[in-house]
Amino acid sequence: MQTAAEPNAKPAPAATAAPLLAVRNIEVVYDNVILVLRGLSMDVPKGAIVALLGANGAGKSTTLKAISGLLKTEDGEVTRGEIVFDGERIDGIDPDKIVRRGIFQVMEGRRIIADMTALENLRLGAYTRSDKNVDDDIDMVYKYFPRLKERTGLAGYLSGGEQQMLAIGRAMMARPKMILMDEPSMGLSPLLVKEVFGIIKQINRDLGVTILLVEQNARAALSVASHGYIMEQGKVVLDGTAAELRDNEDVKEFYLGGAGDQRKSFKNLKSFKRRKRWL
């Protein structure tokens, strides 16, 4: 702990360092009329994994698209507030410029290019790069996801888990400072969720890439994140360290419903879904 009485004490970096990404009180409107984000704020520290959780329709994907600039492709707009990345405003900037600044979004539902091979998809991830290390990075991606190397056919025929791995690999090929991931667990078996999240953690550690992780699977997300935000109806309603959120009674009830045990969680799933509608 730092005290004012120590003349040579250096401030704790976590307390003073500006976050890599700061979202300040943003409002997002689709089609000029549909207000979806209503004053949302969040910080993502450099090198961290931060989880953004919430029920269907809360505005999680919209938040990621506001950051990556992809809102523009859906007639959405940040109408208030600001988004600051690495010290500079990025709200309103075109998505390809945001990629060049170092943010890469892995879209919901994977969105790999089905009629290209896995390798071609990976090369595509490096489209903004002019350096000569692309082949080395393909080897690096194969190191994390060895099974992608064995798949030489069209990416559309990859399994769901392999497509998710390819989508993450493609993001790594851009050598971004930050990756935005929209529901990487979607459609994966519990075993694959564990595998993919293990690799997400590893990539974060090895490459120092900062990750903002949107998830419905709060348990998986909070197992790798250091901090989490919970949003409802376009706003953050709760935030804290991953440990604080895991211990929070409301979070337990609404987002961690169902223990690890399969039968139990299946039984709880119905009531979990029913409850979520009332949020």
Ligand X SMILES: Nc1ncnc2c1ncn2[C@@H]1O[C@H](COP(=O)(O)OP(=O)(O)OP(=O)(O)O)[C@@H](O)[C@H]1O
Is 272 an interacting residue with respect to ligand X (CB under 6 A)? no
249 makes contact, choosing from Mg ion, ligand X, none, with CB < 5 to 8 Å by partner type, with: none
The CB-of-12 to ligand X minimum distance in angstroms stands at 33
| Contact code string over 170-189 relative to Mg ion, x by CB under 5 A | --------------------
Is 62 an interacting residue with respect to Mg ion (CB under 5 A)? no
The CB-of-110 to ligand X minimum distance in angstroms stands at 14
Is 63 an interacting residue with respect to Mg ion (CB under 5 A)? no
What's the chain look like in SS3?
CCCCCCCCCCCCHHHHCCCCEEEEEEEEEECCCEEEEEEEEEEECCCCEEEEEECCCCCHHHHHHHHHCHHHHHCEEEEEEEEEECCEECCCCCHHHHHHHCEEEECCCCCCCCCCEHHHHHHHHCCCCCCCCHHHHHHHHHHHCHHHHHCCCEHHHCCHHHHHHHHHHHHHHCCCCEEEEECCCCCCCHHHHHHHHHHHHHHHHHHCCEEEEEECCHHHHHHHCCEEEEEECCEEEEEEEHHHHHHCHHHHHHHCCCCCCHHHHHHHHHHHHHHHCCC
Choices 49-57, 145-153, 171-179, 195-203 (CB under 6 A): range interacting with ligand X: 49-57
Is 217 an interacting residue with respect to ligand X (CB under 6 A)? no
Among 61, 63, 121, 210, binds Mg ion (CB under 5 A): 61
Residues in contact with ligand X, counted by CB under 6 A, come to a total of 15
Is 68 an interacting residue with respect to Mg ion (CB under 5 A)? no
The CB-of-247 to ligand X minimum distance in angstroms stands at 24
What residues numbered 1-40 form the site for ligand X, per CB under 6 A? 30-31, 34, 36
Choices 54-62, 78-86, 127-135, 247-255 (CB under 6 A): range interacting with ligand X: 54-62
**Shorter beta-carbon distance to Mg ion: residue 60 or 219:** 60
Chain residues binding ligand X by CB under 6 A are: 30-31, 34, 36, 54, 56-62, 74, 76, 216
